Structure 1
Amino acid sequence: MASQAINIPHGPARSEQLLLRTTAEWRASGEDLLLFAYGSLIWRPEFEYAEALSARVLGFHRVLRMRSRVNRGSPQQPGLVLALISGGSCRGLVYRIPRDIGDEVLPRLWAREMPNGVYEPRWLNCDTASGRLKALAFTLSRQSPNWTGALHEPELLHIFQHASGRYGTTLDYLLRTVQGLREHGIRDMELERQVHLAAQHGLCAPL
């Protein structure tokens, strides 16, 4: 399964087209639905799964550099969420979702992860103890208007203090992600550095 970017402006129409395309690609495979989780899906999956495998993706890495105007921020005060961007590698989990519930899980997953069609869904090779598996992952292009690039510490601290959306604050999202990763034996040094920065400024307790 190979996905190409859809050149439609971000918004519900793009999200719907991406859902239709991804659903068709998965159905054509005839397999269970495999999903690569690298952020909040690790600690709050909100769907049933038959198996969760430790996995590593080559060619993409996890960063807190995607603007969030719905889930962890607002149009007035955008927050941040994680994205996979090209380069490096990323450790996470591959969920195996039984085929007979995939058609119910995908739309719910889309409503959560793709309200504005910002991510680029891709089928990525994931190395696991069970071998290499191809799983759906939500990636981000550096050409996306929601890509922040590098953020200076004052910018990060302002977001940690003020950004909140329908699922809570950016800072809570960061803290829960770092805790969730640690529970699976994964240490992300950049995310942990950001938690340390927030703790240094009295915004949270040290982890």
Structure 2
Amino acid sequence: MSHIHQGFWVFGYGSLMWRPGFSFVERRRARLDGFARAFCLSSVRYRGTPERPGLVLGLDEGASCEGVAYRVAREHAEATHAYLREREMVTYAYREAWLPLTLHPEHAGETVEALCYVVRRDHPQYAGGLDLEAQARRIAGCRGPAGPNADYLFNTVAHLREMGVEEPALIALEARVRAHIAEGCTDEGT
């Protein structure tokens, strides 16, 4: 907890990239090694419901993940941490971890320790291992209180493009989801 009181860095790899929801003093592109961004978590609160779970991103085992590092000032640290816990730890499908991030080369490859929300593979909402088609059907057909599951994917891919990050797996998934929506196949079972 000592990290929190001094101010801290937090890593965004999904909706935190395009909707952080907290005050920060710096925002930098960053890379996390040892984890990959993956649609591996059933969403029963934001992008789906308990009856029809959507699918959202988690940091799962993998090579690396490009995203955004935010530096939170000391005076906002405790409130920001409380906000993040309320947002990310709703069902405890993530665990909080302090991991080293490499800031983008324009920042001389500086390494900082950051708060990261890593998916828990032992949690009932873990949905790793779904193939592209299963992911696409689920994302195209689900919505929750935060809106259509597809919007979550589209916003993430758009933000990565703005950053100059190309993830072939996400681009392929986006294409399949758009095709399902265009065909009117927005029901997981069709």
Q: Give the TM-score, by structure 2 length.
A: 0.87
CA distance in 2, matches of 1:187, 1:84: 17
Instruction: Indicate the residue corresponding to 2:156 in structure 1.
Output: 177
Q: Aligned equivalents of 1:113 and 1:180: distance in 2?
A: 20
Whole-angstrom distance in 2 between the partners of 1:60 and 1:153: 19
Which residue of the partner structure matches residue 147 of structure 2? 168
Separation in 2, partners of 1:188, 1:162: 23
1:99 aligns with 2:99: no
SS of alignment partner, residue 160 of structure 1? helix
For residues 182 and 200 of structure 1, the distance between their equivalents in structure 2, rounded to whole angstroms, comes to: 20
What amino acid sits opposite 1:188 in the alignment?
E
Matching of residues 114-193 of structure 1 within 5 Å: 114-128=89-103, 129=107, 131-193=110-172
Residues 64 and 191 in structure 1, CA contact (< 8 A), matched pair in contact too:
no
Q: 2:38 aligns with which of 36, 42, 63?
A: 63
Name segments (4+ residues, structure 1) moved above 4 Å: none
Cα distance, 1:54 vs. partner?
1.1
Q: CA deviation at 1:47?
A: 1.0
Question: 2:174 maps to what in 1?
Answer: 195
1:154 is displaced (CA, Å) by 4.5
CA 1:203–1:32: 2 relative to 1, 3 Å: farther
Q: Is the 8 A contact 2:7 2:76 kept in 1?
A: no
> Partner amino acid for 1:173?
Y
Q: For the Cα contact (< 8 Å) 2:54–2:138, is it kept in 1?
A: yes
* In 1: Cα distance, 2:56 partner to 2:74 partner: 29
Deviations 1:64-115 (A, max 9, x none): 1111100111000000110001221111111001010111111112221111
Q: Which runs of 5+ in 2 are unaligned?
A: 184-190
**Which amino acid in 2 is paired with 1:26?**
H
- The aligned runs of 1:68-83 (5 Å cut-off) are 68-83=43-58
Q: What is the identity percentage for the equivalent residue pairs of Structure 1 and Structure 2? A: 32
Out of 23, 26, 45, the position equivalent to 2:3 is 26
CA change 1:154–1:91 in 2 (3 A) is: closer
In the aligned structure 2, how far is the partner of 1:78 from the partner of 1:136?
A: 26
Task: Provide the rounded CA distance (Å) in 2 between the counterparts of 1:117 and 1:124.
Answer: 18
- TM-score under structure 1 length normalisation: 0.80
Residues 98-107 or 74-83, more deviating:
98-107
Question: After superposition, what is the alpha-carbon deviation per residue over 1:40-83, rounded to whole angstroms, capped at 9, x for unaligned?
Answer: 00001111111011111111110011111001110000001100
2:23 corresponding residue in structure 1: 48
- Distance of 2:136 and 2:182 partners within structure 1: 9
Classify the secondary structure of the residue corresponding to 1:201.
helix
Aligned length: 179
In structure 1, runs of 5+ residues without a counterpart are 1-23
**CA RMSD of superposed structures (Å):** 1.7
